[in-house]
């Protein structure tokens, strides 16, 4: 996990893809600000852009962030390299438990396999994935994961990391699905949604 931090800090001094372009400005010199005294030398405002700790920002984002290596082949890939605090809170895992693990630890009975296949295809085709599926917290509780996933590319255009921005949208969806059931009590998708939550309640009660 320390590697990712180092990578972010290093990027601060480079001109990498994905970072905002370095703006340049024209400075005024001399006592009188006449047009003739405009210094034409352009300076780069590096310090203004990168003089903060990327790691602290990542750790305090409200959305879960997961970074993996850029391999997709099971069973080892994609290997989890970093998750932020919001991600740990959402899933119930501790950082020490994630060493050598893949995001598959979140999958279970109701995880949408077709969606995962489409994720793989998108990443291979260098596209951005967006989708929702049931995932499972460490204690087995299902939650609806909404996530974007994409590659971060190195200077030679090769994927070096996969990044996922993830959030639990179970409550939001429960509201939507409740409304749908009010309009149409036969709504199969809405019924299936609540069946998953009901199943978990029964498991908890039994255990
Ligand atoms: C950055 C990243 C984050 C991922 N996060 C999740 C996740 O939260 N939940 C999930 O079910 N799969 C997630 N996956 C997908 C799995 O790791 C895996 O790629 C997927 O199961 C398809 O591969 P498989 O068919 O070999 O299992 C993620 C993949 C990547 C690259």
Q: Could you tell me the CATH number of the domain that includes residue 104? A: 3.30.450.20
Nearest CA to ligand 1 atom 26: 74
Claim to verify: residue 154 and residue 179 sit in the same structural domain = no
Claim to verify: residue 101 and residue 62 sit in the same structural domain = yes
Claim to verify: residue 89 and residue 62 sit in the same structural domain = yes
Nearest CA to ligand 1 atom 4: 103
Instruction: Write out the E strands in 18-155.
Output: 24-28, 38-44, 64-69, 80-83, 129-136, 142-153
Claim to verify: residue 64 and residue 154 sit in the same structural domain = yes
Report the candidate in 181, 116, 131, 127 with the shortest Cα–Cα distance to residue 159: 127
Nearest CA to ligand 1 atom 2: 164
Q: Residue 67 and residue 55: Cα distance in Å, rounded?
A: 13
Q: Is residue 41's pLDDT more than 70?
A: no
Q: Residue 146 and residue 135: Cα distance in Å, rounded?
A: 10
Does the predicted model carry a pTM greater than 0.85?
A: no
Examine residue 15 and state whether it is found in any structural domain, yes or no.
no
What's the Rg (C-alpha) of the chain?
23
User: Ligand 1 pocket, 151 CB below 6 A?
Assistant: no
User: Ligand 1 pocket, 72 CB below 6 A?
Assistant: yes
Examine residue 116 and state whether it is found in any structural domain, yes or no.
yes
Q: pLDDT band at 54, cuts 50/70/90?
A: confident
Q: Is residue 173's pLDDT more than 90?
A: yes
In the reported structure, the alpha carbon of residue 110 is separated from the centroid of ligand 1 by a whole-number distance in angstroms of: 14
Sheet holding 80-83, edge to edge: 80-83, 64-69, 159-168, 142-153, 129-136
Which range, of 27-36, 94-103, 133-142, 161-170, averages the lowest pLDDT? 27-36
């Amino acid at each position: 996990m320390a590697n990712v931090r180092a990578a972010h800090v290093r990027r601060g001094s480079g001109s990498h893809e994905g970072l905002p372009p370095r703006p340049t400005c024209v400075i005024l010199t001399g006592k009188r600000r006449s047009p003739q005294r405009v210094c034409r030398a352009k300076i780069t405002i590096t310090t203004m852009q990168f003089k903060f700790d990327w790691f602290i920002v990542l750790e305090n984002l409200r959305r879960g962030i997961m970074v993996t290596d850029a391999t997709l082949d099971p069973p080892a890939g994609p290997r989890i390299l970093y998750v932020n605090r919001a991600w740990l809170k959402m899933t119930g895992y501790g950082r020490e438990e994630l060493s050598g693990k893949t995001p598959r630890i979140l999958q279970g009975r109701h995880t949408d396999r077709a969606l995962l296949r489409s994720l793989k295809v998108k990443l291979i085709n260098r596209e951005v994935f967006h989708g929702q599926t049931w995932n499972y917290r460490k204690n087995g509780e299902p939650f609806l994961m909404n996530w974007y996933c994409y590659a971060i590319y190195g200077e030679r255009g090769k994927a070096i990391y996969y990044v996922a921005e993830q959030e639990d949208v179970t409550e939001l969806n429960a509201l939507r699905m409740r409304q749908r059931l009010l309009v149409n009590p036969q709504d199969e998708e809405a019924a299936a949604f609540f069946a998953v939550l009901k199943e978990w309640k029964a498991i908890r009660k039994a255990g």
